[in-house]
Structure 1
Amino acid sequence: MRTRLLVVVSVLVVAVVLGLGIPLAMSAAAGSTAEMFTDRLGDTTRFAALAQRAITDSDTAALGAELARYDQLYDAPAAVLDRQGDVLVASRPDVLVTDDPDDGARVALALAGRRSPTAQTIWPWDTRPMLLAEPVLVGGEVRGAAVTVSPTGALRGGVLIVWGGLAAAGLVALAVAALAALPLVRWILAPIEELDAGTARVAAAVRAGRPAEPVGAERGPPELRRLTRDFDAMAATVSATLEAQRSFVADAGHQLRNPLTALRLRLATHAEDLVDAPVAPEVRDGPGAALEEVDRLTAVLDALLALARTEGRVAPPVEVALDRVLDERVGTWAVLAEYEGLDLHRAGARGLVVPSDPVTVATVLDAVLDNAVKYAPPGSAVELTTARVEGAVEVAVRDHGPGLAPDELDRATERFWRKSWEDGGSGLGLAIAARGAERAGAALALELPDDGGLRVVLRWPPTRA
């Protein structure tokens, strides 16, 4: 942002310099042209006056000598023409050799008794000489014209020097403006730069449960300093809120688990007491149904705690060898899969490494495998495959259960959403997997294979070498 502000300031300064410099440059060229025109007009008028006697006396020797001395001194050829426009006397033979039609027009005006109009501004790239013609009048009658042809090299050189000085002054002004603007820009942007540098630290601290380090800018405009103070207050509030949430989840989990365990023991004992008691069947079956509800509530509580741990865990990514994590999870879930009559096996590429967090990856796999084992029918297979697809690393868990409808894929990762309330799930398994995938640096996708079931894909994007 500092560079952009400096560019804006520089553009404004350049606009001011050009707005002042261009008129000054044009004025310098016009002034130099007018000065030379006035000087050469006086010389031409003097030659016209000298030509009166020469034409009257028919003696051009003295006039020729005067024109020659003038040409030698100023390197500006001069001539006197008769009323027909023929050269009467000249300092050099090719004095009127010119390709500019305006020069011929000036000579014609002089022979018509009119004075030379003001010369147009001569620019540094204009190499044409300045030709002036004045009528020679004898007794009020036009008898000829005096002509001077002045080179403009010195004039153009002087204009270039002036323009160079203006350009140098503009560059100096631009440099001074930049040097003066740099401290001002730094002062203006100081709170923003400190806020930008502190945002990442504050975010990491808030997510990790540490107190947020305040930004507290001490420099810069009051409005921006006030912004940093407001940000510090917001970060402190968010940090305190998240800490209170984590504490509540942890405390509630422990506090609820103990009563649930005690309730389950009491119900189990009561169910044993009713085995041989002469009571109605619905009374004898009551503790068993209550035990099922207690187990379901315990499963929901465990899922909530797992979700809270997943959302609260923020760890820097490290190189994770997937083989070790996957083999551990397959070994852990193989026992339950075998008990449920399922074939849990792993296939695909080995030796894959991803930048992630092994604990979070294991949590995601647990949630996905739990979902697959829960819904896969006995006798089917649960497949965990790995592959590298166009540089991306994919870990997929495929089951052959009832799957989902296409319009249910987007809702499947919502918290507490279930395909059916009779399946006994908590509706948090895929929600835990989706949140954990984000923190593992991957994306979770749900796919519907053609032969049924559900395929959950954990995909890490290609990494730059």
Structure 2
Amino acid sequence: MRKRLIVVFLVPLIAILVALGGAVGWSAARSVQQAFYTQQLGDLGYFATSARQALRSGSDAVIDAEVKRFREVYGIEVMVFGLGGSVWAAGEHDSTALPEEDAERVKLALSGRRAEQSTVFVPWAIADASLAEPVFDDGDVIGAVLVAGDTDAPKAAIVQQLLVISGIAVLLIALGVLLVFRLASWVLSPVRRLDEAMVAIERGEMDARVAEDAGPPELRRMARVFNGMADQIERVMTRQQEFALNASHELRNPLNALLLRVEHLATGLGREWRADIEETREEGRRMTRILETLLGLARGGRGDSATSAVDLATLSARRVDAWREVAAQRGIILLETGERSVMSVTDRTSVESALDAVIDNAVKFSPDGAQIEVGAVREGDVCRIVVRDHGPGLTSAQAAAAADRFWRSAESVDAPGSGLGLAIASDLLLAVGGELLVAPADGDGLTVELVLADRSNP
């Protein structure tokens, strides 16, 4: 963003300075040219008067001396031509090699045409170093004067002025760049601090805030709004943590008491109840793990997954046994499918909770007497727990949105629930590096896959 802002400011600034510098340079160069041509016309006027007197008297001694002296002092060549076009006075200058352009100028002057300044399109290119002027006597042309000026001086003056103007333009551009960088830093400093504060909050530093007294007024207001939003989020998360902490503590004592009662009752039951008692114990231990996870979330802001080697096939079989009696109330049969052993390194509690949410969803939407297949499989380095029901199913578009929070299909709006089951399962799997895939099954029903990367062999 800073680069774009600098470009937006710098490009117009540089364009304006270049345009102004070019206009000033052009004007300065034209001024030097005009001064040069004005000087040439003045020299022509002076020597035209002297040449008229010399030509009328028929003596070239005076004019020849003036021409020679003028060349020695100013370095400018002056030549006087007679009416026939021959050189009449040149101050010992070699006139045998007169350039063709100068010869044309002399011929034009002898015809009575006065010297005219040529149109120049490039200011630093002096177009005409020589100018010719006719010499009149009582309205008749009696000769011509040619002045050949030295263009090195005006060219040097033009180059000098252009260098000065370029230096000033470069200095102004450098100052503009400095000002633009300072302006960009001033404008974007609140945005940078906002970005740093948001990153800090994402890391769990809920006390991160932004100074409200820097930058433009509009961004100061944004900083105040952000701080207010962060305060509100911190309050909400604090309440959530307090609720989870209180709920975990409040549930721990009744759970421990319930487990003690189970152990007490187990002493008076026969051997035929041993399997049911062990299932009850396992459910109690699972509830304990869930409470420990809630406590970790409440104390640290986010849970740290306790990863270990887990047999996903055994895990899914136990969850099927736990849900079998609930499903049997509606005549639904839970079948164990897949492989006998699928080992993975993951968080057992998160996977169990996610699988419970998926099985609950399948039982809820399956018709009475239907079957639900649950099993774990391995495909290369990926482990999957597949839950396949025979309910009404979903379209591909509906399946893509099924894991969104509070999403309900049009056909199931009257069904009990809040639409959070698959969303919670998806969040739990994301926390352990997995994902939840929902897709229409072949024939009827829905297939939900709990996908976990195999980390048993790092």
Q: Are residues 75 and 93 of structure 1, via their aligned partners in 2, closer, same or farther at CA, if it must alter by over 3 Å? A: farther
Work out the CA distance in 2 between the residues paired with 1:110 and 1:254: 117
User: Which residue in the other structure is 1:334 paired with?
Assistant: 317
> Does residue 363 in structure 1 map to residue 347 in structure 2?
no
Match of 2:389 in 1: 401
SS in 2 for 1:115: coil
**2: CA distance, partners of 1:6 / 1:379:** 62
Q: Which residue of the partner structure matches residue 97 of structure 1? A: 100
TM score, norm. by length of structure 2: 0.66
Residue of structure 1 equivalent to 2:447: 454
Task: Give the partner amino acid of 1:228.
Answer: A
Residue in structure 2 matched with residue 26 of structure 1 by the alignment: 26
Deviations, residues 234-260 of structure 1 (Å, cap 9, x unaligned):
211122123324544665688799999
CA distance 1:97–1:422, shift in 2 (3 Å): closer
Counterpart-to-counterpart distance in 2, 1:2 and 1:427:
43
> CA shift at 1:110, angstroms?
3.4
Is the CA contact (8 Å cut-off) linking 2:372 and 2:387 kept in structure 1?
A: no
Shift of 1:428: 3.8
Spell out, residue by residue over 1:422-463, the C-alpha distance to the aligned partner (whole angstroms, 9 max, x if none). 999885432213334555666644234657752536599xxx
User: Can you list the C-alpha shifts for 1:154-208, whole angstroms capped at 9, x where unaligned?
Assistant: 2122211111111112222233344455555444443333222212223443xxx
2:394 partner amino acid: A
SS in 2 for 1:214: coil
1:216-227, aligned counterparts within 5 Å? 216-227=211-222
1:326-375 Cα deviation digits (max 9, x unpaired): x4444322334578441343899x99x9xxxx55x962575247636966
Matched, 1:382 2:368: no
Residue matched to 1:267:
none
| 1:14 corresponding residue in structure 2 | 14
Q: Which runs of structure 2 are paired with 1:289-304 in the superposition (5 Å)?
A: none
Residue type matched to 1:447 in 2? Answer: A
Shift of 1:45: 2.0
Counterpart of 1:132 in 2: which secondary structure?
Answer: strand
1:273-314 deviations in Å (ceiling 9; x for gaps): xxxxxxxxxxxxxxxxxxxxxx9xxx9xx9xx99xx79x975
Q: Aligned-pair distance for 1:61?
A: 5.8
Partner of 2:271: none
Distance 1:211 1:425, change over 3 A: closer
Secondary structure at the aligned position of 1:434 is classed as: helix
* Offset, 1:137: 0.7
Deviation by residue 1:1-29 (Cα, 9 ceiling, x = unmatched): 44544444444543453354223212211
**Which blocks of at least 5 consecutive residues in structure 2 are unaligned?**
259-282, 325-333, 454-458
Write out aligned runs for 1:15-414 (5 A): 15-60=15-60, 63-64=63-64, 66-71=66-71, 74-83=74-83, 88-90=88-90, 91=93, 92-98=95-101, 110-120=109-119, 123=122, 126=125, 128-180=127-179, 182-205=181-204, 211-248=206-243, 314=302, 327-337=310-320, 340-345=334-339, 359=347, 363=350, 366-368=353-355, 371=358, 382-386=375-379, 396-402=384-390, 404-406=393-395, 408-414=398-404
Q: Give, as a single letter, the amino acid of the residue that structure 1 aligns with 2:219.
A: L
2:429 is the counterpart of 1:434: no
8 Å CA contact 1:443–1:459 kept in 2: the answer is yes
* C-alpha separation in 2, matches of 1:89 and 1:19: 49
Shift, 1:33, TM fit: 0.9
Structure 1 match to 2:267: none
Q: How far apart are the structure 1 equivalents of 2:431 and 2:98? A: 90
Percent identity, aligned pairs only, is 26
Deviation at 1:151, TM superposition (A): 3.6
- The alignment partner of 1:93 has SS state of coil
Task: Decide whether aligned partners of structure 1 residues 426 and 228 sit closer, same or farther in structure 2, where only a CA change above 3 A counts.
Answer: closer
Q: Which residue of 1 aligns with 2:264?
A: none
Counterparts in 2 of 1:426 and 1:95: CA distance versus 1, 3 Å = same
Question: Contact 2:51/2:80 (CA < 8 Å) preserved in 1?
Answer: yes
Question: Using the alignment, how far apart are the partners of 2:62 and 2:118 within structure 1?
Answer: 29
The alignment's TM-score, normalised by the length of structure 1, stands at: 0.65
SS at match of 2:100: coil
Where do 5+ consecutive residues of structure 1 fail to align?
Answer: 264-294, 389-393, 461-465
Q: Distance in 2 between matches of 1:365 and 1:257?
A: 20
Aligned residues of 2:351 and 2:428 also touching (Cα < 8 A): yes
Aligned partner of 1:41: which letter? L
Q: Distance in 2 between matches of 1:369 and 1:52?
A: 122
CA contact (8 A) 2:54 2:60 kept: yes
8 Å CA contact retained: 1:443, 1:458: yes
**Residues 59 and 229 (structure 1), Cα distance of their counterparts in 2 relative to 1, 3 Å cut:** same
SS of equivalent residue, structure 2 residue 99: coil
Contact 2:6 2:184 survives alignment (8 Å): yes
1:78 is displaced (CA, Å) by 3.4
Q: Does the 8 Å CA contact 1:78/1:95 hold for their aligned counterparts? A: no
